[in-house]
């Protein structure tokens, strides 16, 4: 489905731009277009939420489609291992080689618990691994729930998560419940995945026609906009207040689910055409690029500071030149990984 590759491409693009510009502290004159462009990348962290919504949709769809298979568990976990582990273990190995994470962080990452680094007091940690840990924990639990419940019960569970999780985040942010990190703990952000689950259930229901997909998508997008506008006076754009901590991601999750359903409902040739080819390519390498880009950024900076020519060194550290060069290098590494390292494992999925 080219629509999904386009969405993956969008997700990884905004994450990379966010880390390469706003998150890294890039700056430019306050009254310049460059400054505005850097500030706009602050929304790039939402690419991770888009990945979560896509995961909820895709994984639930796979599980529902194979629910009655006698090889349900073996097939799912074998295919997930072939997709996830090779690149994951490679980046962990690279972090050890380049001394980019503490031994405790490496150990926790190998247990897929990196989203609890802050709760465990682990400072030197590699950022991208936290969201991979959330997804792996989802993979551990969700197949059993799908297998043992009816679609109706599954719908109730997903709806309950969408309602309960913001409440738990709010109570935790307010100090009423000591439940941990409201932005990374799986049991506090499961609604990010649950909205994708509901989209997958809808797509496989008798209501899941292409026309209804467009209508449902538009409805969700409008609801997202209305919720966002209504929440502005209460600080929904910021995590520093209780309301924002609880609700900040909710309208975006609704919008991403709506966008997904609209795109799948439209099935336009635009999504498989030349104009979206760059995004589909980024979607193709998105997993490896997500894993490797911050390491590439760090290594780039460590090399540039040793360039003897001062003028050249300053040019290589100019925000947009730096972003272009380190971004291109990260894309190259991710493509080489996908083409020559990950693909042999992925080809084995067809035999499972």
Q: How confident is the model at residue 86 (pLDDT cuts 50, 70, 90)?
A: very high
Is the Cβ–Cβ distance between 275 and 113 less than 8 Å?
A: no
Token pair 């693909």 in the structure block, residue? 343
Token couple for 240:
């520093």
d(CA 102, CA 174): 31
d(CA 325, CA 192): 32
Q: Can you give the pLDDT at residue 268?
A: 85
* This prediction's pTM: 0.94
Q: Which domain holds residue 226?
A: 2-351
Does pLDDT of 50 surpass 90?
Answer: yes
Q: Is 173 exposed, middle or buried (0-12, 13-18, 19+ CB in 10 A)?
A: buried
308-346 pLDDT, tens digit per residue, is: 888 888 888 888 999 999 999 999 999 999 999 999 999
Average pLDDT, whole number, for the chain? Answer: 92
Is residue 103 classed as helix, strand or coil in its secondary structure?
A: helix
Exposure of 19 in the CB half-sphere (CA atoms within 13 A)? 23
Token couple for 34:
């460059």
The count of domains in the chain is 1
214-247 pLDDT, tens digit per residue, is: 999 999 999 999 999 999 999 999 888 999 999 9
Is the Cβ–Cβ distance between 123 and 147 less than 8 Å?
A: no
- φ, ψ of residue 204 to 5 degrees: the values are -100, 5
- φ, ψ of residue 33 to 5 degrees: the values are -65, -35
Closest by Cα among 218, 200, 102, 210 to 154? 200
Distances (CA, A) of 114 to 136, 151, 304: 11, 31, 29
Q: How far is CA 348 from the centre of its chain?
A: 25
Token couple for 119:
């709760």
Is residue 191 classed as helix, strand or coil in its secondary structure?
A: helix
Q: How confident is the model at residue 118 (pLDDT cuts 50, 70, 90)?
A: confident
d(CA 67, CA 206): 18
243-268 pLDDT, tens digit per residue, is: 999 999 999 999 999 999 999 988 88
Q: Can you give the pLDDT at residue 79?
A: 94
């Amino acid at each position: 489905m080219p629509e999904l590759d386009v969405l993956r491409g969008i997700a990884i693009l905004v994450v990379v731009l966010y880390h390469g510009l706003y998150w890294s502290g890039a700056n430019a004159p306050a009254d310049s277009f460059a400054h505005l462009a850097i500030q706009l990348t602050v929304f790039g962290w939402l690419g991770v939420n888009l990945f979560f919504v896509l995961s909820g949709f895709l994984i639930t769809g796979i599980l529902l489609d194979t629910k009655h298979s006698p090889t349900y568990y073996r097939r799912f976990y074998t295919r997930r291992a072939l997709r996830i582990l090779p690149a994951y273990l490679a980046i962990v190995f690279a972090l050890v080689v380049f001394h980019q994470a503490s031994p405790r962080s490496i150990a926790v990452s190998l247990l897929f618990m990196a989203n609890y680094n802050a709760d465990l007091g682990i400072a030197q940690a590699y950022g991208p691994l936290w969201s991979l840990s959330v997804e792996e924990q989802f993979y551990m639990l969700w197949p059993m729930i799908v297998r043992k419940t009816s679609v109706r019960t599954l719908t109730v569970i997903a709806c309950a998560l969408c309602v309960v999780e913001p409440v738990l985040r709010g109570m935790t942010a307010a100090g009423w419940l000591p439940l941990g990190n409201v932005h990374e703990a799986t049991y506090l952000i499961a609604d990010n995945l649950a909205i994708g689950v509901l989209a997958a259930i809808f797509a496989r229901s008798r209501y899941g026609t292409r026309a209804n997909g467009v209508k449902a998508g538009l409805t969700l997008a409008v609801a997202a906009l209305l919720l966002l506008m209504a929440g502005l006076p209460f600080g929904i754009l910021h995590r520093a207040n209780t309301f924002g901590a609880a609700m900040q991601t909710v309208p975006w999750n609704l919008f991403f689910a709506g966008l997904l359903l609209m795109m799948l409902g439209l099935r336009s040739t635009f999504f498989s055409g030349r104009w979206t080819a760059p995004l589909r390519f980024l979607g193709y390498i998105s997993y490896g690029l997500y894993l490797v880009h911050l390491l590439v950024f760090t290594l780039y900076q460590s090399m540039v500071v040793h360039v003897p020519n001062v003028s050249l060194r300053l040019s290589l550290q100019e925000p947009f030149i730096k972003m272009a060069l380190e971004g291109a290098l990260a894309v190259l590494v991710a493509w080489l990984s996908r083409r020559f390292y990950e693909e042999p494992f992925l080809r084995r999925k067809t035999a499972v």
